[in-house]
A and B are shown apart, each in its own frame.
Chain A
Amino acid sequence: MSNVSVGRPDNTPTWIMSGILLCFGLLVSSGVLTGLLTTFKVHKAIDLMESLAFIGGGLGVITAILRQSRMDKPLGKFDVFVLETIPGVLFILSLAMGIRWFAEPLVIMMSSSLVPVLGFKIHKVLNLNYVVLGIIVGIIITNSWGIPKFAASGVKTARFVLKMGVILLGARYSFAELAKLGMVSIWMIGFFVLGTVFFVLFLGKVFKQPKSMTGVLSAGMGVCGVSATVACAPVVKAKCSEMAYTIGTILGFGILCMFAFPTIGKLAGMNATQFGAWAGTGILNSAQVAAACLAFNAVDIKTLKVGEIFNITRVLFLPVIVLLLATWFGKQSGQKLSFKEVVIDKFPIFILGFLLLFFMSSLGVFSPADHYKGKYLDFSYNQRTEVTPEELTVLQNAQLAGIPGLNAEEQAAFDDLVKQHQIAGNFEDRDNKKVFDETARERMRGLESILARVKGGELTLSAEVTSAIKHAVKQVQKKSKTVVTLTDCMIWFFAYGLIGLGMQITRKSLAQAGGWPLVMGGISGMAKATLSFIVVMYFVKDVVLH
């Protein structure tokens, strides 16, 4: 075939994916799927489903036509960076859509139906939300059928998209919280990063291991997992087997942490700040920190905000650690590395993007000053504006037990909050913004009335129920539509990026774990996770987040 000579994968998958997306869009917009989507409780996202399906499908058709016309021609820059990348982008996007709107609800329904047998909801114990499911699907694909040839080029965009997610997160911090969190993170990360690096170097000395191995392991265990190993291996002149063992160990330990941390955090009753701080300190890989934070709480991005600050602080330590290791290793080997090689080349540039968005946000570019005072209300259907699953359970239990003393309006508002998981209008009125908003405002007034009466001592509610209602009210008070849009994009960027990153985790890389790196990595990783857990539980308190 002619396309073989220029290295172009077949066009058929692009046609098929585009067709599926367009069909899905048509089915959703025609209302055929509304019943199913309502059963899955994802009907609130119908508008987004239509937009993504039609945009993705349309883009796929245009790409397929352009690729078809260029099959016999040599690959140019436009082909490499655009036409050959889009099929993979659509592949991950389709997976993300499928996981978020179909796989996750199915898992929740199956998990709930298994309660009589198991006695607990397995999806809650294993934190099987769309983020974790996405990573698992990515890992399964790459280790079973392998990444399809047509998608290989596009899957590489996951790294870039994940960085975009972190950059967009910058728009969600205020000066006050960044200052508070920043100080805590610098102290904690400084202590644990440097502590782990020195501890591994010490272990290397105790176990009489070569400097090249302890150097590369210390960076991986101390700073940010495989990324730090990749950055440091050439600096400390690690041998092939040392790199393989270290990467396998770090990867295995990181994945274990990613699944274990959210469950432990919930069992220990950590709040968002505490869990974010613990995950940001104890989990090795930065993407796994994001995944664990979203697994802990994917509805409210509070945990992610805290985790990412710790994460970014840790990433900023990377050039410092490379410099430290280069000096330490260079003393023995006599090699000299330039400042550019060691520090500038290793500086994560995307953090500048994060800071830029933070400064723009602080200057009010995305959000006028009065919006901070809660004057802008957003009742649109969105998972982001929902109460957390834990809060929902509290509210459901309160509803079952009954709350004496509620008037009709308050009772209706409370019942609807349990039904919709958020303050919103009726689904049937979603196209009539005025009616939709009016109903939602009425429900909000009902809930605010409950809170006011609790405060005045007229009603008695538990602290958990009061807190859940307060959170529901707070969730609809938005800073600006721009910030809301940026946040939604960010969540999707993380979902997309983490699926793609899951596809980079191969069984063969994991199988390399072993030797002394496994022993030393196990000791230092466990020590860091345990110590940081204790420090967080005793010293890190909640921080006011917007």
Chain B
Amino acid sequence: MKHILLTTHGTPGARKAEALALEWAHRYGAKVTILSIINEAWGDMTCDDWLNTSTTRNTFGAYVAGEISKEIGQLWDRLRDEFQGVEIDFLSKAGKLEDVLAEAAREVDADVVIMGAWQQEQAPGFKDRFENKRLHPQMPCPLVVAP
């Protein structure tokens, strides 16, 4: 195993995936690419707002983009510390969760993809989950769900 693709937003479930990826990276000497997926639904978050001018909506869009980048930056800083001694790379992509994960796995030519398990209660953050029936047929490599 040479290349692990880890997808995480830093939630409790995903942290188990981070630990497993770190362990396997050490065991096999593999490179880890950390993927942050920006949910495409953010693009629709102005919803039924019709009162604001396009300037205000653009300001909001830019602010949201900045906040998402900031959150991803903080996550990557933490993982940079935790993955010391492992060759790591970072990737952020926007779109449908399942499509983006499969696309990233193909792009980095990953040997395995590691992700967190389905949680009964979602951690604070954007509420969205992978749909297995959409994800599985697309995957170009094995998918490991960290227990």
List of A residues within 8 angstroms of B71 by Cβ: 239-240
Give B60's nearest chain A residue, CB to CB.
A230
Give A513's nearest chain B residue, CB to CB.
B127
List of B residues within 8 angstroms of A254 by Cβ: 48
Q: In the complex, are the beta carbons of B125 and A226 less than 8 A apart?
A: no
Which of A243, A349, A511 sits near B53, CB closer than 8 Å? A349
Interface centre among A162, A230, A241 (most CB of B within 10 A): A230
Give B124's nearest chain A residue, CB to CB.
A241
CB of B67 within 8 Å of the partner chain: yes
**Separation in Å of the B102 CB from the closest CB of chain A?**
20
The 28 listed contacts between A and B (C-beta, < 8 Å) are A159-B50, A224-B51, A225-B49, A226-B46, A226-B47, A227-B49, A230-B52, A230-B57, A231-B60, A234-B63, A239-B71, A240-B126, A241-B126, A243-B45, A244-B45, A244-B126, A244-B127, A286-B50, A287-B50, A315-B51, A318-B51, A501-B50, A504-B44, A505-B47, A506-B41, A508-B44, A509-B45, A512-B126
**Separation in Å of the B14 CB from the closest CB of chain A?**
15
Report B42-70 CB contacts with A as 1/0, cut-off 8 Å. Answer: 00111111111101110110011001100
Given A345-B55, A509-B44, A230 contacting B49 (CB threshold 8 A): yes
Give A346's nearest chain B residue, CB to CB.
B56
List of B residues within 8 angstroms of A348 by Cβ: 51-53
CB of A167 within 8 Å of the partner chain: no
Nearest 6 interchain pairs by C-beta: A234-B63, A508-B41, A159-B50, A227-B51, A227-B49, A230-B60
**Separation in Å of the A141 CB from the closest CB of chain B?**
14
Size category of the binding interface on chain A: 35 or more
Complex alpha-carbon distance, A414 and B45, angstroms: 52
Given A230-B49, A286-B51, A239 contacting B44 (CB threshold 8 A): no
The total of interchain contacts (Cβ-Cβ below 8 angstroms) comes to 101
CB of A9 within 8 Å of the partner chain: no
CB of A90 within 8 Å of the partner chain: no
Interface centre among A158, A233, A497 (most CB of B within 10 A): A233
Complex alpha-carbon distance, A71 and B57, angstroms: 30
CB of B128 within 8 Å of the partner chain: yes
Q: In the complex, are the beta carbons of B50 and A227 less than 8 A apart?
A: yes
Which residues 506-534 of A have a CB within 8 angstroms of B? Answer: 506, 508-509, 511-512, 514-515
B residues near A, CB below 8 A?
39, 41, 44-53, 55-57, 59-60, 63-64, 67-68, 71, 124-128
Q: In the complex, are the beta carbons of A241 and B51 less than 8 A apart?
A: no
Q: In the complex, are the beta carbons of A227 and B52 less than 8 A apart?
A: yes
**Separation in Å of the B126 CB from the closest CB of chain A?**
5
List of B residues within 8 angstroms of A509 by Cβ: 41, 44-45, 47
CB of A447 within 8 Å of the partner chain: no
List of B residues within 8 angstroms of A508 by Cβ: 39, 41, 44, 128
CB of A251 within 8 Å of the partner chain: yes
Which residues 485-503 of A have a CB within 8 angstroms of B? Answer: 497, 501-502
**Separation in Å of the A221 CB from the closest CB of chain B?**
15
A residues near B, CB below 8 A?
158-159, 162-163, 224-227, 229-231, 233-234, 239-241, 243-244, 247, 251, 254, 285-288, 315, 318, 345-346, 348-349, 497, 501-502, 504-506, 508-509, 511-512, 514-515
Complex alpha-carbon distance, A240 and B69, angstroms: 10
List of A residues within 8 angstroms of B44 by Cβ: 504, 506, 508-509
Q: In the complex, are the beta carbons of B64 and A240 less than 8 A apart?
A: yes
Q: In the complex, are the beta carbons of B60 and A233 less than 8 A apart?
A: yes
Q: In the complex, are the beta carbons of B48 and A504 less than 8 A apart?
A: yes
New A-B contacts (17) at CB < 8 Å, excluding given A240-B126, A501-B50: A159-B50, A162-B50, A227-B51, A230-B60, A231-B52, A234-B59, A234-B63, A241-B124, A241-B126, A243-B64, A244-B127, A254-B48, A287-B48, A345-B55, A345-B59, A504-B49, A505-B48
Q: In the complex, are the beta carbons of A345 and B128 less than 8 A apart?
A: no
Complex alpha-carbon distance, A226 and B46, angstroms: 7
Q: In the complex, are the beta carbons of A504 and B47 less than 8 A apart?
A: yes
List of A residues within 8 angstroms of B57 by Cβ: 230
List of A residues within 8 angstroms of B53 by Cβ: 345, 348-349
Which of B49, B59, B127 sits near A226, CB closer than 8 Å? B49
Give B41's nearest chain A residue, CB to CB.
A508
Give A507's nearest chain B residue, CB to CB.
B41
Complex alpha-carbon distance, A234 and B44, angstroms: 17
List of B residues within 8 angstroms of A239 by Cβ: 67, 71
Q: In the complex, are the beta carbons of A285 and B56 less than 8 A apart?
A: no
Complex alpha-carbon distance, A227 and B51, angstroms: 6
**Separation in Å of the A78 CB from the closest CB of chain B?**
19
Give B61's nearest chain A residue, CB to CB.
A230
Q: In the complex, are the beta carbons of A240 and B50 less than 8 A apart?
A: no
**Separation in Å of the A302 CB from the closest CB of chain B?**
23
